[in-house]
Amino acid sequence: MSESKGAFSGGAGLIPTLPARWLYRIASTHAFTERGLYLNLGYWDGARTIDEACEAMVDLVGRTAGLTSADEVVDVGFGFADQDIHWIRHFSPRRIIGLNITPKQVRVARERVRELGLEERIDLREGSATATGLPDACCDVVIALECAFHFETRERFFAEAARLLRPGGRLVLADSIPTGPAVDPWRHPLRALLNDAVRAALSVPRANVYPREVYAAKLAAAGFEAVRVNSIRDQVLPGWSRALVDDPGLRRRLGPVGWLLRRMSKTSLHDGFDYVLAVAHRPTAGAVT
């Protein structure tokens, strides 16, 4: 990647990061989809609408996690719980505990789950992904669907996920990262400043800005094995960018966030982004250090 294309690839480090809870308060109950309240960019391999693409992403994550009826799942950053409802209906895990730092999303999600009579199987809580308060080895799967880039920090979340998982458990993430190393602010000061502004506006801590190779190394350093960090960028970002341009209803539903994302799409800032599907396993024997 040339240094002219690093949309959130670090930067000058001068702009404070917008806290994630503030970003989602601005978004309020605006969601990406028309029929539900999904909050992901969508998996556009064959999808024709944002609703189809968002559901396809959730289904892809569920299949990648290998969810079964025996699994107890911790889902961090669950949004409005559409993904949890989908997984219960289509994969039937035994139980899902969800954690989310945005109070309004938690309230709305709990009400939706209660209306569906699923509160015995979907337990939604206000809480942090990096300090869950859950007991050691309490689950078989940890999922972070398009949220780990917000965490303070992603590395702390990796360590927390390793603590929560039983031996042989799986961590699955759908995540957005830069395509390459940070822009050198001394050589390209304006580009670096712009990149840092994008990073800060999207609530991405500087410590979370690194490409795929570093991502995989950090998972391994957290004690995981059989680590895979695969790019699905071509199935996500072009379709999302087209939807922002072609679907006025999507922009309207997103409110102020939609305006920001539309500007990013028009200036091709997404060219500096990668989108990855990561899977890592807790070792079946021995402690994770």
Residue 57 has pLDDT above 90, yes or no: yes
- Quick check: is 59 in a domain? yes
Number of Cβ within a 10 Å radius of residue 186: 8
Residue 110: half-sphere exposure toward Cβ, Cα within 13 Å: 12
Phi, psi (5° rounding) for residue 188?
A: -135, 70
Residue 135 lies in domain:
3-281
- Quick check: is 230 in a domain? yes
Q: Comparing 244 with 263, which gets the higher pLDDT? A: 244
**Number of residues in the chain:** 289
- Quick check: is 129 in a domain? yes
CATH of the domain at 239: 3.40.50.150
Give how many domains the chain has, as a whole number: 1
pLDDT digits (tens, 9 = 90+) for 260-285: 666 665 445 466 789 999 999 999 97
- Quick check: is 288 in a domain? no
- Quick check: is 57 in a domain? yes
- Quick check: is 131 in a domain? yes
Closest CA to 150 of 41, 77, 236, 229: 77
Question: What's the confidence (pLDDT) of residue 59?
Answer: 99
Residue 124 has pLDDT above 80, yes or no: yes
Average pLDDT for 256-263? 67
- Quick check: is 286 in a domain? no
- Quick check: is 17 in a domain? yes
Q: Comparing 53 with 255, which gets the higher pLDDT? A: 53
The span from the CA of 147 to the CA of 203, in Å, is 10
Percentage of the chain surpassing pLDDT 70? 75
CB-based contact 38:32 (threshold 8 Å) = yes
